[in-house]
């Protein structure tokens, strides 16, 4: 394998005839085993570039989208001044935050205060790397993919907890404790919902979970069990993202800014960025687990329809499905009022968790009887 | 190779944040001191340390969480091999989970799950 072969590799594979997942990591490993150091380096740089461009691009696009959608939900226009229809607003915000003073409270734990944004961004970057965007665009594909995702989510909690604790501010402390309690609680339900899909797919690897949906998405094939798991997972991931109606950790009317009250300038920007990009990671997971990932939408044996669907590249399918769920999350924000903390805990421990266990039991019965499509 | 890239990405994340903070450090004004560096409490002066006692409920939920999280870690390999093992797997996992559910019921009856 030499540099010339590299250019013949279809990074954006249009035809759906080859649906075998080839990750960037596998390509790099192949290049390494072929003793081509340059090519290995090219793929390693490519993996960094993909993750970095996803992080930056999604950050800018999602912040703009959130403000525009929020505006239109409230019969406003949203940002309009900077650039055409305010498209440059996010960039202007980044520049503004870059030039702001970085204020650290006098009695804060300086080291932890500095370290918290690193943890948040770290969790987001590692989460982005495992998302199967198309058969050819996936940076890594570890065989314990689902466990990896669960572990990464845990890392994000640490960022919020450390940020709130180190600020030496009562609002921050309360916000951090709420964030910790909420995220770990809802992580249980999210894990139980993921387990249902693992039961059906028989694999923890995200690419294998997508491949297992070639004959139909799990939300359809696993019928009632899949639908229950989907709703539990959607609620739990909204809660893990700290988004309304579960935004108690940063409830601005009670805690000013929650765990990031004492953050300013770029340090604050990193929390913001990781929160928004995490929204994409969560939507991408919903799509991967329940809605066939990058698989096109097929209707039975209707060849004419299916061949038209084949024309759309997998990456576009994936982007479209994720965009829908991101929009849904933004829609939630302007639809549901914030929960109280006792309601939040009751919803998880007394409603979602028992449903999750019952659903696992039901799912294993469904698999044993073969009563699914 | 996968985990090597994970290491690489950890480096990327740390490098990205630290370089951005460094650029900001060069560009942004720095004028610390005085009342600006006090903790923000809506204009009130802070009384005492902010590292106060908080609701014991957080600890209780963390304890119950720990049990169920470890259980989830056991269920992942179970879910992968479920099809091959069949009905025995269902019975075994059922026994395992029901023991834990007894614990959850106990906590529920004791009112641990109520937020006070």
Express each pLDDT in A335-348 by its tens digit.
888 888 888 888 88
CA–CA dist A81, B25 (Å, integer): 29
Helix, coil or strand: residue B82:
helix
Nearest to A121 among B16, B32, B65 (CB): B16
Q: Is B50 within 8 Å of A172 when comparing Cβ atoms?
A: yes
Q: Is B58 within 8 Å of A265 when comparing Cβ atoms?
A: no
- pLDDT bracket for residue A208 (50, 70, 90): confident
pLDDT of A1 above 80: no
CA–CA dist A107, A144 (Å, integer): 42
Residue A5 is predicted with a pLDDT of: 55
Express each pLDDT in A290-326 by its tens digit.
988 888 888 877 888 888 887 888 888 899 999 999 9
- pLDDT bracket for residue A232 (50, 70, 90): very high
Residue A327 is predicted with a pLDDT of: 93
- pLDDT bracket for residue A3 (50, 70, 90): low
Q: Which residue of A has its CA nearest to B15?
A: A118
- pLDDT bracket for residue A18 (50, 70, 90): low
pLDDT of A33 above 50: yes
The residue that leads in pLDDT, A282 or A11, is A282
Q: Is B87 within 8 Å of A52 when comparing Cβ atoms?
A: no
Low-confidence ranges of chain B (pLDDT < 70): none
CA–CA dist A335, A321 (Å, integer): 21
CA–CA dist A121, A239 (Å, integer): 19
Express each pLDDT in A235-257 by its tens digit.
999 998 888 788 877 777 777 77
Q: Which residue of B has its CA nearest to A351?
A: B113
Pick among 1.20.1370.10, 3.30.420.40, 1.20.58.1610, 1.20.970.10: CATH of B2-109:
1.20.58.1610
- pLDDT bracket for residue A231 (50, 70, 90): very high
Q: Is B39 within 8 Å of A169 when comparing Cβ atoms?
A: yes
Express each pLDDT in A261-286 by its tens digit.
888 888 888 888 888 999 999 999 99
Mean pLDDT along residues A29-38 = 82
- The structural domains of chain A, with segments of one domain joined by +, span 103-369
Express each pLDDT in B63-91 by its tens digit.
888 888 888 888 888 988 888 888 888 89
pLDDT of A10 above 90: no
Mean pLDDT along residues A18-47 = 81
Site from B7, B17, B98 to mutate, A interface, most A CB atoms within 10 angstroms: B17
CA distance A101 to chain B (A): 5
Chain A residues in contact with B28 (beta carbon < 8 A): 98-102, 265
Q: Is B2 within 8 Å of A142 when comparing Cβ atoms?
A: yes
Residue A286 is predicted with a pLDDT of: 92
Sign of the four-CA dihedral A41, A44, A48, A49: positive
Q: Which residue of A has its CA nearest to B7?
A: A126
Residue A325 is predicted with a pLDDT of: 93
Q: What is the 3-state secondary structure (H, E, C) of chain A?
A: CCHHHHHHCCCCCCCCCCCCCCCHHHHHHHHHHCCCHHHHHHHHHHHHHHHHHHHHHHHHHHHHHHHHHHHHHCCCCCCCCCCHHHCCHHHHHHHHHHCCCCCCCCCCCHHHHHHHHHHHHHHHHHHHHCCCCCCCCCCCCCCCHHHHHHHHHHHHHHHHHHHHHHCCCHHHHHHHHHHHHHHHHHHHHHHHHHHHHHHHHCCCCHHHHHHCCCCCCHHHHCHHHHHHHHHHHHHHHHHHCCCCCCCHHHCHHHHCCHHHCCCCHHHHHHHHHHHHHHHHHHHHHHHHHHCCCCCCCCCCCCHHHHHHHHCCCHHHHHHHHHHHHHHHHHHHHCCCCCCCHHHHHHHHHHHHHHHHHHHHHHHHHHHHHCCCC
- pLDDT bracket for residue A81 (50, 70, 90): confident
The residue that leads in pLDDT, A215 or A198, is A198
Cis bond before residue A273 (omega within 30° of 0):
no
- pLDDT bracket for residue A16 (50, 70, 90): very low
- pLDDT bracket for residue A14 (50, 70, 90): very low
- Reported ipTM: the value is 0.88
CA–CA dist B20, B98 (Å, integer): 50
Residue A2 is predicted with a pLDDT of: 53
Nearest to B17 among A142, A171, A270 (CB): A270
Residue A193 is predicted with a pLDDT of: 92
Chain A residues in contact with B36 (beta carbon < 8 A): 103
- pLDDT bracket for residue A259 (50, 70, 90): confident
Percent of chain A whose predicted confidence (pLDDT) is above 70: 95
- The structural domains of chain B, with segments of one domain joined by +, span 2-109
Residue A324 is predicted with a pLDDT of: 93
- pLDDT bracket for residue A15 (50, 70, 90): very low
CA–CA dist A348, A240 (Å, integer): 12
- pLDDT bracket for residue A11 (50, 70, 90): very low
CA distance B108 to chain A (A): 8
Q: Is A47 within 8 Å of B1 when comparing Cβ atoms?
A: no
Residue A13 is predicted with a pLDDT of: 44
For the CA atoms of A302, A308, A309, A312, the dihedral, rounded to the nearest 10 degrees, stands at 170
Residue A283 is predicted with a pLDDT of: 93
Mean pLDDT along residues A24-49 = 84
Global pTM? 0.90
Chain A residues in contact with B58 (beta carbon < 8 A): 177, 180-181
Nearest to A47 among B5, B37, B46 (CB): B5
Residue A373 is predicted with a pLDDT of: 75
Residue A322 is predicted with a pLDDT of: 92
Q: Is A122 within 8 Å of B38 when comparing Cβ atoms?
A: no
Plot region of A17 (φ>0 → left; ψ -120 to 50 → alpha; else → beta): alpha
CA–CA dist B65, A29 (Å, integer): 39
Q: φ and ψ at B55, to 5 degrees?
A: -50, 130
Mean pLDDT of the residues in chain A: 84
Percent of chain B whose predicted confidence (pLDDT) is above 90: 2
């Amino acid at each position: 394998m030499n540099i010339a072969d590299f250019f013949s590799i279809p990074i954006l594979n249009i035809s759906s005839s080859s649906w075998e997942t080839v990750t960037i990591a596998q390509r790099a490993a192949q290049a390494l085993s072929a003793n081509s150091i340059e090519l290995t380096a090219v793929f390693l740089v490519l993996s960094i570039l993909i993750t970095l461009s996803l992080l930056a691009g999604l950050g800018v696009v999602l912040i703009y989208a959130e403000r525009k959608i929020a505006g239109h939900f409230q019969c406003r226009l949203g940002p309009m001044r900077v650039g055409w229809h305010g498209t440059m607003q996010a960039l202007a915000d980044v520049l503004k935050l870059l030039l702001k003073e970085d204020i650290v409270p006098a009695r804060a734990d300086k080291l932890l205060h500095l370290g918290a944004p690193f943890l948040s961004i770290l969790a987001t970057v590692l989460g982005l790397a495992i998302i199967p965007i198309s058969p050819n665009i996936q940076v890594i594909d570890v065989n314990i993919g689902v466990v990896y995702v669960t572990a990464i989510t845990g890392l994000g909690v640490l960022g919020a907890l450390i940020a709130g604790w180190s600020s030496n501010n009562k609002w921050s402390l309360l916000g951090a404790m709420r964030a910790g309690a909420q995220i770990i609680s809802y992580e249980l339900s999210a894990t139980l919902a993921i387990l249902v899909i693992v039961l059906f797919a028989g694999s923890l690897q995200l690419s294998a979970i997508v491949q297992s949906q070639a004959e139909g998405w799990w939300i359809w094939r696993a019928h009632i069990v899949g639908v229950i798991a989907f709703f539990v997972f959607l609620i739990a991931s909204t809660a893990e993202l700290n988004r309304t109606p579960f935004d108690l950790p940063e409830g601005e009317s009670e805690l000013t800014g929650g765990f990031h009250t004492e953050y300013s300038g770029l340090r604050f920007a990193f929390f913001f960025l990781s929160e928004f990009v995490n929204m994409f990671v969560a939507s991408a997971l919903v799509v991967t687990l329940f809605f066939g990932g990058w698989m096109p939408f097929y209707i039975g044996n209707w060849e004419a329809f299916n061949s038209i669907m084949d024309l759309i590249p997998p990456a576009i399918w994936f982007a479209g499905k994720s965009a829908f769920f991101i929009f849904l999350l933004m829609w939630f924000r302007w639809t549901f009022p914030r929960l109280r903390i006792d309601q939040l805990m009751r919803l998880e421990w007394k409603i979602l968790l028992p449903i999750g266990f019952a659903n696992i039991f039901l799912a294993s019965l469904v698999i044993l009887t073969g009563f699914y499509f | 190779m996968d985990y090597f890239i994970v290491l690489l990405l950890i480096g990327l994340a740390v490098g990205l944040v630290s370089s951005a903070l460094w650029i900001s450090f060069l560009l942004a004004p720095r004028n610390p001191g005085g009342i600006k560096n006090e903790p923000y409490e809506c204009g009130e002066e802070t009384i005492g340390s902010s590292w106060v006692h908080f609701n014991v409920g957080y600890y209780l939920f963390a304890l119950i969480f720990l049990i169920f999280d470890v259980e989830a870690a056991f269920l992942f390999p179970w879910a992968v091999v479920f099809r091959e093992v069949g009905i025995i797997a269902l019975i075994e996992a059922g026994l395992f989970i029901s023991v834990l559910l007894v614990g959850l019921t106990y906590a529920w009856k004791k009112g641990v799950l109520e937020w006070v």
